[in-house]
Every structure is written in structure tokens, then in C-alpha cells.
Amino acid sequence: MYRNELSREPHADRVAAQLATFPSAVAEDGGSLVGFCYTVNFAPDVLELANIVVAENRRNEGLGGILLQHVESQAAQTFAGIILVNSDLYPQGKTVKRPATDFYHKHGYRILTATAGTRIFFKDLK
């Protein structure tokens, strides 16, 4: 799914280590992976949302929000906040995706800074 939706190869060893160490979530339907969300360490008390992906045929069903909320509830037990970078400058996957600004605002993230193609968001978990 990573390869299909993001048009790049996953760093499997690195992703596996992050999944085992930091808050993450997966969504399955009938044994098939339809979404995932995982974080990495940014600072001692702050996580970075490394990736949140929902299969193209399952978008706009609320799955991304459910994955994000699950990760946030895990993170809030130990971490003060989550930071993320959302950029239009990354190579597009197999489909053109709309900017995720509205999605992150809806879930309580605020923009710390922005350039022409990139937004950096933060959410306080405490």
C-alpha cells in the first residue's frame, strides 16, 4: 500500500522500528490494509507524524481521522505534542491529492509556519 499510494519504496526496517517504538495505527478491511498512520521521535517530548495514508478507494470515509485520533490518544500518555510537515513539493503518488490543511485544522492542528509549498503544523496534546 505504501508503494501504491506514495509511489516510493518504504524503508521497511526503519518503519518497522518506528512502529514498534512510537504510537501508530493501522486500518484493515477483510484482512487487507486500507490505511496506516505512524509517528517518529522529533524531540524528547514531541513526536513527528511521519505518515498518514488511506487507500484511494477508502478516502472520505473518516478513516484518516480515526487513525489520527488513535495515534494521538496513544501519544498523549507520554508526549506533549505532535508536529508534522505537509508539503505540495513531495512527488505525487498515483493520484493527485488535495492539500491536507483542512484535515489537520479540523483535527486541532495549527500552522506554525508556511512557505509557498509547505506547511508545518503542531498540536498540543496536554
Write out pLDDT tens, residues 22-63.
Answer: 999 999 999 999 999 999 999 999 999 998 989 989 999 999
Write out pLDDT tens, residues 70-86.
Answer: 999 999 999 999 999 88
CATH of the structural domain 2-124, one choice from 3.40.630.30, 3.40.50.300, 3.40.50.1980, 2.30.30.100? 3.40.630.30
**Domain positions in the chain:** 2-124
Q: Which parts of the chain fold into alpha helices (H)?
A: 2-6, 12-21, 63-75, 101-106
Nearest to 118 by CA among 95, 86, 91: 86
